[in-house]
Structure 1
Amino acid sequence: MKKERHILLLFPHPDDETFGAAGTVLMHKRKHGTKVTCATLTSGEMGRNLGNPPVANRETLPIVRRQEFERACEIMEIDELLHLGYRDKTLEFEDIQEVASHLKEVIEKVNPTLVISFYPGLSIHPDHDATGEAVVEAMKQIPEAERPTLHTKAIAAHSVKEIGEPDIVHDIDELMDQKLKAIDAHESQMQEVSAITKQKLSEGDEDTEAWIRYEEFWTYEF
């Protein structure tokens, strides 16, 4: 694992950072003491779940999800949180150049050596793809000599067919329990997912273990 001075996570929803990079962040923190900033573009206010029993209603969900995001990031030992103020499930309708300009400002202010986000077009959710597209466009506007490395998450089933195997795979075996705790912090959205995941892990399900244990990234080539 290359030593990084500062990592910036750029994801659209609270919980994307946890599923996508919790173990990777913790590895960087433990091995190198890397500073980490996590930016969420939205508060996840359109999330389909409210908890069971409910921990939020439609009016309070954005507040609850911000609190869950903060708890998860604390478990992930993240140093700085940013809320960028976009509306959930509408990122695909935003002007891509305006969002890219905003993200460029964020990147330049944070001044990371590594950015982690979604791979545009291969990330299932419209908000995921729109975020990845805006991040790529923002990075293109930064002079090459000043541009941080971009690691991307591609989670569509056909990703490997489209772009090949990931060039970075982190085995977070020793950090799986902490990653599961961070997932649990997103209580309103993840109670059922977390319960099923833990049950399958206890049964020795290899696919579930691989899903949690191996964090894969593609280095984006400009």
Structure 2
Amino acid sequence: MLPESEIDRVLVVSAHPDDADFGAAGTVALFGERGVKVTYLMVTDGDAGGNERTLDNSGMAELRRAEQTAAAKCVGVTDLRFLAYPDGAVVASLELRKAITRVIRQVRPDLVITHHPDRNYQFIAPSHPDHRAVGGSTLDAVYPDARNPYAFPELLLEEGLEAWTAREVWLVGGSTPNHYVDITDVIDRRLAALQSHVSQVAHVEGFADFIKGRSAAWAERAGFAEGRYAEGFQVVATA
């Protein structure tokens, strides 16, 4: 794994607003405390999500962008980017790979965090089709696209974006995590970020207890002491 001292920039690529917070808000908060620059890239605006049915898709997209912006502030992230793909209709494509490659070359991250591209048969929620499409496309953008100067040459010729190698990827939502981050000291910030997504979670009774229980289960799986909280990832070396 990359030593912490060699992680200066992180790019989190997610399908919808709130995905980054469900998967890695605590870890992102810890990165921020160490001075690491974190960028969020949301492929969709989440316009097909939520329980507020008085809003049309455009209104929901605007609301969810605002919620994600508020959530990001809770964990110290101010650089947010949205690709505005239609929620629920994301597919792995060259177009999506190019869009993600563009942001990788702009941000030049040491570490990329994204969805696991495989279906999780132990817990179905992370396996939304958009998640799997974004995870697979992000991995393809990391390797080989972003590092290959001959891939999408117009990014260099027209936009001046040089090739870049992201050295590691952390996948969220998979069934085989092999790295756990102790987020006990920032569990309140994780909760604050998630509770900023009012349209998604306000109706869930006992939501805070659910999140704490899930985070405690990750910590137990990691072998941490009782009373600790964690987030889990599958680490993929790319360099």
Which TM-score tier does this pair reach, normalised by the shorter chain? 0.7 to 0.9
Counterpart of 1:40? Answer: 42
Preserved contact between residue 7 and residue 113 of structure 1 (Cα < 8 Å): yes
State the distance in 2 between where 1:199 and 1:147 align.
Answer: 39
Matched residue type, 2:45:
S
Preserved contact between residue 169 and residue 217 of structure 1 (Cα < 8 Å): yes
2:232 aligned to 200, 212, 216, which one? 216
Residues 82/207 of structure 1: CA separation in 2 closer, same or farther (3 Å cut): closer
What is the DSSP-based 3-state SS (H/G/I as helix, E as strand, rest coil) of the residue aligned with 1:220? strand
- TM-score of the two chains, using structure 2 as the length reference: 0.77
Preserved contact between residue 15 and residue 134 of structure 2 (Cα < 8 Å): yes
- CA-based RMSD: 2.3
What is the DSSP-based 3-state SS (H/G/I as helix, E as strand, rest coil) of the residue aligned with 1:143? coil
Q: Give 5+ residue unaligned stretches, structure 1.
A: 161-165
Matched residue type, 1:73:
A
State the distance in 1 between where 2:89 and 2:134 align.
Answer: 11
Q: 5 Å matches for 1:68-83?
A: 68-83=67-82
What is the DSSP-based 3-state SS (H/G/I as helix, E as strand, rest coil) of the residue aligned with 2:98? helix
Matched residue type, 1:143:
R
Deviation at 1:102, TM superposition (A): 1.3
Counterpart of 2:112? Answer: 115
Matched residue type, 2:203:
E
Counterpart of 1:96? Answer: 93
What is the DSSP-based 3-state SS (H/G/I as helix, E as strand, rest coil) of the residue aligned with 1:49? coil
- TM-score of the two chains, using structure 1 as the length reference: 0.83
2:146 aligned to 142, 145, 163, which one? 142
Residue 212 of structure 2 is aligned to residue 196 of structure 1:
no
1:27 aligned to 27, 30, 35, which one? 30
State the distance in 2 between where 1:12 and 1:182 align.
Answer: 17
State the distance in 2 between where 1:116 and 1:77 align.
Answer: 16
Preserved contact between residue 35 and residue 79 of structure 1 (Cα < 8 Å): no
The percentage of aligned residue pairs carrying the same residue is: 30
**Structure in which a larger fraction of residues adopt helix:** 1
Q: Give 5+ residue unaligned stretches, structure 2.
A: 120-125, 149-162, 220-228
Residues 206/13 of structure 1: CA separation in 2 closer, same or farther (3 Å cut): closer
Deviation at 1:82, TM superposition (A): 0.4
Paired residues in the alignment total 203
